[in-house]
Chain A
Amino acid sequence: MTPERKFGDVILSVEHITLTFGGVLALEDVSFDIRESEIRAIIGPNGAGKSSMLNVINGFYHPQEGQIMYRGATRSKMKPHYAASHGIARTFQNIALFKGMSTLDNIMTGRNTKMKRGLFWQAIRIGPAMTEEIKHRDYVEHIIDFLEIQAIRKTPVGRLPYGMQKRVELGRALAAEPDLLLLDEPMAGMNVEEKEDMCRFILDVNEQFGTTIALIEHDMGVVMDISDRVVVLDYGKKIADGTPDEVRANQDVIDAYLGISQEEVGAVN
């Protein structure tokens, strides 16, 4: 059904990134790039440095060495605020939603970087600010429709089941109309049905909006099905990079996954 996919230029590349925490090496000389409109997976066993990598890209961690090239500009470190306002949105492994707020409000916060400044007008919500609010609400409603979460629009997210929270978090990231979407284990802790739904949403986002997606996953089976290219990390080092088929055939990858628990091996097959 899907014709040959074409990818654009490199949108982000990490170059020789090394990250340590008080002497403990989390990432060592890792380099790879992400191309426009592709689904790029970062996989690896537990503790391989996947989450650290994502946190470096979005500016939560600042690497000791190396640099990040994003949209042509090279920086030695990202800042979360800069990343967010320049089109990088993300989700978290342990869901970082605003639990007390409704689904709608949560996704509305995702529009934060899209809202014009002008605190005062915003505060009293009249005139142009009101029109702007309506415009953003309209966009958010499209996301709600897209993710099929109309039924929980007004529900405080803290009361939602886990799988739904993951979906809302994806919605909040999408609300920023990101160029690059970072997903930290989007399918962790989900049942089969929820995983299928999430896969469909990820593919649809990529297809419909052309959003570039970088995702970390633990469950290799799922990743291989939906990604275009895969980076494999092990003990903070890059051990493979390529299409799912290439990666699957890579001896280092097989060893890395065999070297750990049985359960992980199950996930590979």
Chain B
Amino acid sequence: MSTEGLDTFPKLLLDRAKRFGSRSAIREKDYGIWQTWNWRRVEAEVRALACGLAARGFTRGDKLAIIGDNRPRLYWGIAAAQALGGIPVPAYQDAVADEMQYVLEHAGVKFVLVEDQEQVDKVLEIQDRCPSLKEIIFDDARGLRNYDRTHLHDFEDIQQAGREFDQKNADFFEQQIAQGHGGDVAIILYTSGTTGRPKGVVLTYDNVLITARNGASFDNLTADEEVLAYLPMAWVGDHIFSYAQSYVTGFCVSCPESGATVMHDLREIGPSYFFAPPRIFENLLTSVMIRIEDAALPKRKLFDYFMRLARRVGPDILAGKEVSLVNRMAYYLGHLVVYGPLKSNMGMSRIRLAYTAGEAIGPDIFDFYRSLGINVKQLYGQTEGAVFVTLQPDGEVFPDTVGKPAPEVEIKITDNREVVYRSPGVFHSYYKNPEATRETKTEDGWVHTGDAGFFDENGHLKIIDRAKDVGKLNDGSMFAPKYIENKLKFFPHIKEAVAFGHQRDYCTAFINIDLEAVGNWAERRNLAYSSYQELASRPEVYELVQESVEKVNEDLARDPNLAASQIRRFLILHKELDADDGELTRTRKVRRNLILEKYLPLIDALYSDVQSCYVETQVTFEDGRTGKIAGDLQIRDLAAQPLMEAS
């Protein structure tokens, strides 16, 4: 494929329309039917829109905000803005008006392209506070009949005006496109930022195009992939997977009918290339398991039998390793009766390649999909690097690493264990925030990720925690609390865990059991309990949790970097950590410092040799009343495992 001179998306679009005009480019389910646009039609739509925008006064350097669910017209908005030398600024569609105002105002947005009335209302609410804002364009006219149309336009009207403009200015569109170059700004993506205001990551065409191409060639993506665009358009992942790589390789992207139909559309489209955060893989698995538990006994037995087989031989078959003929045949049989129907039910029967990223995925969940023959891999990426930093190559897939450096990416680990990288995808700057740019990106192009990690013996990167949270044990070895906590939380019986060890002699942990999972477990064993506290204090439950902790220790012992962080003492908390009590954030992240303070006596007990400790805690109930929970907590000791050879 010749990519000579095709250094912007609009140029790619013209090329695709010319050479592969009749191939499908984008699809949308509307009124129950999949409507498809080929590249020639996409070019015509983008041309009409771009000319319409120009007719309304959109010029080079202007910003076009894009707000809404994944719709073909919104994707065309990106291309149209780029064609005119403008800059698309996708914003999160579920942002409240205030958050949206910040983005629109900060980016100095002039035009807004939105999906429907909901977004129009939001933009109208904040337009007084965004002086740069001139025109609003909507896709779906529903409910907007009586709105003032002076600065509010129907997408179709803009396109109609564009077609007239195009007739009068025949070469305008091509000329505008020809003026764009690889070094120009392609897009500004605002990172949702857990702390402080979101930052606008400025990416150039070179950033996005080169990484998208590298990613595509790394995994041999072709024009025949099927992709479902269902993640927010403002997120860099969607921009790369559903826009950039589609333009680069020519594959067709399908937009779901609505947010609620995604699972259904997934089944209909049967994507071959799929990205989902771990949460989605987890939810899919849960819904499958619930249905299996409701199934009749013979079906359940069949499922259990073949899933055991799959877990044993599936990953090896997927990795192309040696597997005995008998096992292969049994696996094939399993495919006929269990795996095949299961995959087709989850919309995954055609998946050739799936990625997950964003946070750690539970090894059980990861193995489940891989054992079914679904090639799920992990990657590590950032908006600042146009996604790809590391990728797992086929045949080298492990549940607890994020893979090897992507093509043309260099990675270093700093002295304080922070991962830094340099790549063609490294962002231009944070928009209007040189200070933050300087803090994150060095003069010679290295980006500080803020994540702590290291390379394991296979040359794979392991991300363990945020760099600022990584501490040291007294013997100087590394202590990564979140890594340990995640490992604990992958066990279904453990809901939350808080690990301690910074500036201590050894590691300890608080455990929260999962009331539902452990409750079911207790019921099956006829263990009576009347409250969380009572269940949590049962010796049988302690045994159960201890087993899990020991498994985590075994795992840690395999890794020379982490072997010292084995948990030596733990206790099960008498209450569930709760956002209402300030112990968790609303997004269920542990507030470490608050817990350190609040439960100081318990932590002291963990670092003494007492076997139990009395505690009294104030709690807030759901109705807002407060009360006290008190009791003696037992503390369990564990022996450290010797450092083991990696298997």
Q: Report A's interface with B, CB cutoff 8 A.
A: 1-3, 137-138, 141-142, 144-146, 148, 150-151, 153, 200, 203-204, 207-208
Q: How far is the CB of A205 from chain B (nearest CB, A)?
A: 10
Centre residue among B32, B142, B258, B260 by max chain A CB count within 10 A: B32
B142 touches A150 (CB 8 A): no
Q: Quick one: which of B181-200 are within 8 Å of A by CB?
A: none
- CA separation between A41 and B31, bound complex, in Å? 32
Centre residue among A1, A151, A204, A207 by max chain B CB count within 10 A: A151
Q: How far is the CB of A105 from chain B (nearest CB, A)?
A: 13
Centre residue among B147, B148, B258 by max chain A CB count within 10 A: B258
- CA separation between A138 and B30, bound complex, in Å? 11
A138 touches B31 (CB 8 A): yes
Which residues does chain A contribute within 8 Å of B261, judged by CB atoms? 150-151
B32 touches A153 (CB 8 A): yes
Q: Quick one: which of B229-281 are within 8 Å of A by CB?
A: 257-258, 260-261, 264
A204 touches B146 (CB 8 A): no
Q: How far is the CB of B128 from chain A (nearest CB, A)?
A: 15
Interface size grouping (class) on chain B: 10 to 19
- CA separation between A159 and B235, bound complex, in Å? 35
Main secondary structure of the interface of A (DSSP, over half): helix
Interface pairs A-B: 3 shortest CB-CB: A151-B260, A141-B31, A151-B261
- CA separation between A137 and B32, bound complex, in Å? 10
Interface string of B3-33 (1 = CB under 8 A from A): 0000000000000000000000000011111
List 17 A-B residue pairs with CB atoms under 8 Å apart, sorted by A's residue number.
A1-B146, A1-B147, A1-B148, A3-B146, A141-B31, A141-B32, A141-B33, A144-B31, A146-B142, A150-B32, A151-B258, A153-B32, A203-B143, A204-B143, A207-B143, A207-B145, A208-B143
Main secondary structure of the interface of B (DSSP, over half): loop
- CA separation between A141 and B34, bound complex, in Å? 13
B31 touches A145 (CB 8 A): yes
Which residues does chain B contribute within 8 Å of A138, judged by CB atoms? 31
- CA separation between A137 and B147, bound complex, in Å? 31
Which residues does chain A contribute within 8 Å of B260, judged by CB atoms? 148, 150-151
- CA separation between A165 and B147, bound complex, in Å? 31
- CA separation between A67 and B30, bound complex, in Å? 45
- CA separation between A148 and B31, bound complex, in Å? 11
- CA separation between A141 and B29, bound complex, in Å? 11
Q: How far is the CB of B70 from chain A (nearest CB, A)?
A: 14
Q: Quick one: which of B135-185 are within 8 Å of A by CB?
A: 142-143, 145-148
- CA separation between A55 and B140, bound complex, in Å? 37
Look across to chain A and name the residue whose beta carbon is closest to the beta carbon of B260: A151
Q: How far is the CB of B213 from chain A (nearest CB, A)?
A: 35
A150 touches B143 (CB 8 A): no
Which residues does chain B contribute within 8 Å of A144, judged by CB atoms? 31-32
- CA separation between A86 and B147, bound complex, in Å? 33
Which residues does chain B contribute within 8 Å of A3, judged by CB atoms? 146
Which residues does chain A contribute within 8 Å of B147, judged by CB atoms? 1
Q: How far is the CB of B147 from chain A (nearest CB, A)?
A: 6
Of the candidates B33, B142, B148, B264, which one forms a contact with A208 in the assembled complex, judged by CB atoms under 8 Å apart? Answer: B142
16 further interface pairs, Cβ-Cβ under 8 Å (given A144-B32, A145-B31, A151-B260) = A1-B148, A2-B146, A3-B146, A141-B32, A141-B33, A142-B31, A144-B31, A146-B142, A148-B260, A150-B29, A150-B257, A150-B258, A150-B261, A204-B143, A207-B145, A208-B143
Q: How far is the CB of A229 from chain B (nearest CB, A)?
A: 19
Look across to chain B and name the residue whose beta carbon is closest to the beta carbon of A151: B260
- CA separation between A3 and B148, bound complex, in Å? 10
- CA separation between A207 and B32, bound complex, in Å? 24
Q: How far is the CB of B438 from chain A (nearest CB, A)?
A: 46
Look across to chain A and name the residue whose beta carbon is closest to the beta carbon of B121: A1
- CA separation between A2 and B257, bound complex, in Å? 30
Q: Quick one: which of B74-115 are within 8 Å of A by CB?
A: none
Q: How far is the CB of A211 from chain B (nearest CB, A)?
A: 14
Which residues does chain A contribute within 8 Å of B258, judged by CB atoms? 148, 150-151
Q: How far is the CB of B609 from chain A (nearest CB, A)?
A: 54
- CA separation between A144 and B257, bound complex, in Å? 11
Look across to chain A and name the residue whose beta carbon is closest to the beta carbon of B118: A200
- CA separation between A111 and B30, bound complex, in Å? 20
Which residues does chain B contribute within 8 Å of A137, judged by CB atoms? 32
Look across to chain A and name the residue whose beta carbon is closest to the beta carbon of B140: A145
Q: How far is the CB of B53 from chain A (nearest CB, A)?
A: 26
Q: How far is the CB of A25 from chain B (nearest CB, A)?
A: 43
Which residues does chain B contribute within 8 Å of A204, judged by CB atoms? 142-143
Which residues does chain A contribute within 8 Å of B257, judged by CB atoms? 150-151
